[in-house]
Amino acid sequence: MFSLSTCWFGGRDKKGDAMVDEALEMGFAALELGYALRGEDAEAILRRAGKGEIAISSVHAFSPAPADRPGHPELYSPSSEKEDERALAVSKVLETLELARRAGASAVVLRAGRIQSAARLWLWVEERIASDAADGFWYRHRLRKMEKARAEGIAAAMASLRRSLGELLPSFEAAGVRLAIENLPSFDAIPQPDEADALVREFSSSRAFALWYDMGHGQRMENLGYGSGVEYARRHSRVLAGVHIHDVVGPVGDHQAPGQGGMDYKSYRFLSGVGARVFEPAASVLKEDIVAGRKMLETVWGTP
């Protein structure tokens, strides 16, 4: 069963009931409650789900969005070295868990955080790789500086993340919901493949621990020369709670409808059996392109 992220409705002032109606009209039987969802809209969707009109596949932290600021998946970092920030992230993930529990969702999607000292350098490096300008002294200098900054910061960030997971997983186990760490399309983000492997080794004894594979993010990293998206997904397929589905136009133009970019969906057929398969297009993507993408995937993956 394919699901549609409520993030697609962003910027069009759609209320919760209208989101449900439009998703059903487009042929989706489930929604992912996204990080931009307001509390009143979440409650409206839960009422419809309670009547059996639509299912809730997953919830993307942090949801519902705070009343005093725009929703964002990285408002709080569970890998922050600052204890007050890390503890706040843990409390906000638990609030998202409560929404997931009430919704009957199978998983909460969580971004683990970034190495902030490498983040600004990554934006510079990414821009030059994407524009075929990855050459020259300054590029090599900043690339080395970025790699050094990440290498120096990763141990402390992973220690903070492990502490957060240790505090969170018992609550997720009790609720019967999986906490799924998402891959991101940037070098400064956590976890990179080897770090994901380490988390799996450490936390796989918990039935609540999982990873989440974002296809567009993986493709972006592949386009920029950082590994293979298919290999990353296959490497972790046994611990995936779900996938985000969107296409990539050019090197980094992600969150497009499937079929609008260069993604080879046939190579991802092994993901067809993953429980939560969530379309996550940008708000600007046309409804008819999303519907066409869903029908294409139903054919290519052989699953509704």
Q: What is the 3-state secondary structure (H, E, C) of the chain?
A: CEEEEHHHHCCCCCCHHHHHHHHHHCCCCEEEECCCCCHHHHHHHHHHHHCCCCEEEEEECCCCCCCCCCCCCCCCCCCCCCHHHHHHHHHHHHHHHHHHHHHCCCEEEECCCECHHHHHHHHHHHHHHHCCCCCCHHHHHHHHHHHHHHHHHHHHHHHHHHHHHHHHHHHHHHHCCEEEEECCCCCCECCCHHHHHHHHHHHCCCCCEEEEEEHHHHHHHHHCCCCCHHHHHHHCHHHEEEEEECEEECCCEEEECCCCCCCCHHHHHHHHHCCEEEECCCCCCCHHHHHHHHHHHHHHCCCC
Please tell me the number of Cα atoms within 13 Å of 240 on its side-chain side: 24
83 pLDDT higher than 90: yes
14 pLDDT higher than 90: no
Q: Could you tell me which residues are beta bridge partners of residue 58? A: 32, 107
- What pLDDT is stored for residue 10 in this prediction? 87
Q: Could you tell me which residues are beta bridge partners of residue 247? A: 256
- What pLDDT is stored for residue 262 in this prediction? 94
pLDDT interval class at 75 (50, 70, 90): very high
User: Which overall architecture, per CATH, does domain 2-300 show?
Assistant: Alpha-Beta Barrel (3.20)
Domain ranges across the chain: 2-300
Average of pLDDT values for 255-267?
Answer: 96
Average of pLDDT values for 14-38?
Answer: 97
Q: What percent of the chain has pLDDT over 90?
A: 95
12 pLDDT higher than 80: no
Q: What percent of the chain has pLDDT over 70?
A: 100
CA–CA separation, 45 and 7 (whole Å): 14
- What pLDDT is stored for residue 106 in this prediction? 98
**Residues 153-211: tens digit of each pLDDT:** 999 999 999 999 999 999 999 999 999 999 999 999 999 999 999 999 999 999 999 99
Average of pLDDT values for 231-260?
Answer: 96
Of residues 1 and 129, more confidence is placed in 129
What value does the mean pLDDT of the chain take? Answer: 96
- What pLDDT is stored for residue 275 in this prediction? 87
1 pLDDT higher than 90: no
- What pLDDT is stored for residue 304 in this prediction? 76
- What pLDDT is stored for residue 13 in this prediction? 78
Tokens 């985000």 -> residue? 244
Average of pLDDT values for 108-134?
Answer: 96
